[in-house]
Amino acid sequence: MSLDTRHDEHEGGLREDLGAVSAVADRIREAIETVIEGKPDVLRVLLTVLLAEGHLLIEDVPGVGKTMLAKALGRAVDCSVQRVQFTPDLLPGDITGVSVYHQDRNEFEFAPGPVFANIVLGDEINRASPKTQSALLECMAERQVSVDGRTHELERPFMVVATQNPSDMEGTYSLPEAQRDRFMARISVGYPSPQAELDMIDSHGSRSPLENLSPVTDAARIRDLVERVRHVHVAPGMRRYVVDLVNATRTSPELRLGASPRATLHLVRAARAHAALNGRHYVVPDDVQTLAVPVLAHRLLPGPEARMERLTAEQIVAEIVSRLAVPGPR
């Protein structure tokens, strides 16, 4: 996807379309909030990534609702959802699918794996061996599966929501930088507020609220919305702003590794989706500022000094954002 936008021909229609984007997004949000309460920021990033055709990494301690969140999204959008529980003995074929020999027909037939779905929930991805992890990550980047020399396209929308436990917990293989880079954004769900936790006891006490969740939209509609998001305008000054922001992570003395050019593309795409979610047909600095931490932080490696000062990548990104002048007239 290029940074260029072709907005001129359908500006008028686009604004109405974007009203539809935010309306649909609001419906999805409301639906999910019946399951997970009090996490509007998390939901916003989730929807942003969905509309920007990215993949989401949810990182948190066990039991805070990572899986529930992904499942709720799958239920709210009427599309195929597959769940893969990553374990150390999981093989690449268990994800992509394998060719099975049919003796009667005397030929191989491809049996699609769980990755053939609109939303793939990769649970505890850092428990699998790196080999298996990379099989999934290849599907994420290429949006296709190659088995035995044959290529199988994945249906759109295709979104991987992977959860992982923090890498310092037992039995985990932390994702290498190159693979973290393929996720558009990383979020932490975090513990619910005391009130939300009280409500949760009530709602989850009787039966799973997921069962009450009925779909509010479908895959075709999401494809349509994604197409509209692509036409959101990014002003030249805003492009420079994004580039400067990413550049700043590369030259920051606090960081051992800065963000990649892919991060630049992801940040622009996410900012477009974020603008559309708010009913705007152009990107403003606030979009970029809101998304800078979720989109950039997981790709960065703090340097030794920063680690001694117990600075996290999130704090460093936030600091850079607060120091960078927004584009404007002189």
The residues that touch other proteins, with contacts defined as CB under 8 A, are 7-8, 11, 233, 235-238, 240-241, 243-245, 247-248, 250-254, 281-286, 289, 309, 311, 315-316, 319-330
User: Nearer Cβ to other proteins, position 8 or 168?
Assistant: 8
Of 271, 218, 242, the closest CA to residue 74 belongs to 218
Closest CB to other proteins among residues 121, 283: 283
* Residue reference for tokens 């990553």: 86
Q: How far is the CB of 51 from other proteins (least distance, A)?
A: 19
CA-to-CA dists, residue 208 to 66, 198, 290, angstroms: 15, 15, 32
Q: How far is the CB of 259 from other proteins (least distance, A)?
A: 12
- 174: number of Cβ within 10 Å: 15
- Cβ neighbours of residue 88 closer than 8 Å, sequence gap 6 or more: 127, 128, 129, 171
Give the number of other CB atoms < 10 A from CB of residue 183: 26
Q: How far apart are CA 202 and CA 114, in angstroms?
A: 33
CB of 9 to other proteins, least distance (A): 11
Question: What is the smallest separation between the CB atom of 309 and other proteins, expressed in angstroms?
Answer: 8
199 vs 319, beta carbon nearer other proteins:
319
Nearer to other proteins, 16 or 109 (CB): 16
How far is the C-alpha of 146 from the C-alpha of 158, rounded, in Å? Answer: 16
Cβ atoms of 125 and 164 closer than 8 Å: yes
CB of 223 or CB of 233, closer to other proteins: 233
Q: Which of 65/285 has CB closer to other proteins? A: 285
Kindly state the smallest distance separating residue 265's Cβ from other proteins, in Å: 18
Minimum CB separation of residue 171 from other proteins in Å reads 34
Which tokens in the block code for residue 308? 């001694």
Mark residue 148 as left, alpha or beta (left: phi above 0; alpha: psi -120 to 50; beta: remaining): left
CB nearer other proteins, residue 128 or residue 293: 293
Q: How far is the CB of 102 from other proteins (least distance, A)?
A: 56
Query: Distance (Å, rounded) from C-alpha 237 to C-alpha 157?
Result: 31
